[in-house]
Amino acid sequence: MTTSHDELQKVFDEADCICTEQEVQQAIERMASAITDQLKGRDPLLFCVMNGGLILMGQLLPKLKFPLQAEYLHATRYRQETTGGILEWKLRPEADMRGRTVLIVDDILDEGTTLNAIADYCKAQGAAEVQTAVLVDKQHDRKCRPDLKADFTGLDVEDRFLFGYGMDYKGYWRNAPGIYAVKGL
């Protein structure tokens, strides 16, 4: 079913801004600095998890001022829903990751199933080390492993359905300039 323009505008107008654009920009600066400290000189291979990781990846890359390679992969488990299902690979990474330090870049760590599965895949493909970077980590006790954390996290966020900075609402509003929580969700 399609969602009308008016309905989509209403979702944005009624949403709560959880993190302003300025807060997100500061978080991305901090992430870039931490990633540089850890991965500079290690010839890392970065994978953007499409679609949601697109904006974080695009904003991080020019702040990482050392040699690295950047590629993408595409895995999804929410499609256009607000609850997750089984992870579906749309495009597996093609790069040879044997012996490499891999950094997976995504918008959100929610239950963690997506990042866990991607990290396991990269390890099975021979990556020497797999690290993860997410813009937001949703705070709740439903992680697929109780202690699951990304290696680099921008912001901790509340347990609501979010959109903006890569995260979508029914396929829309990845472009929202901040992090927003849908009214009632």
Give the residue with the Cβ less far from ligand PRP, 91 or 128.
Answer: 91
* Residue 84 binding ligand PRP, by CB under 6 A: yes
The site partner of 163 among ligand GUN, ligand PRP, none (C-beta below 5 to 8 Å per kind) is ligand GUN
* Residue 164 binding ligand PRP, by CB under 6 A: no
* Residue 109 binding ligand PRP, by CB under 6 A: yes
* Residue 179 binding ligand GUN, by CB under 6 A: no
For the window 29-68, what string marks contact with ligand GUN as x by the rule CB under 6 A? ----------------------------------------
Neighbouring C-beta atoms of residue 93, cutoff 10 Å? 21
Provide the residue type at 120 as one letter. D
Give the residue with the Cβ less far from ligand PRP, 164 or 168.
Answer: 168
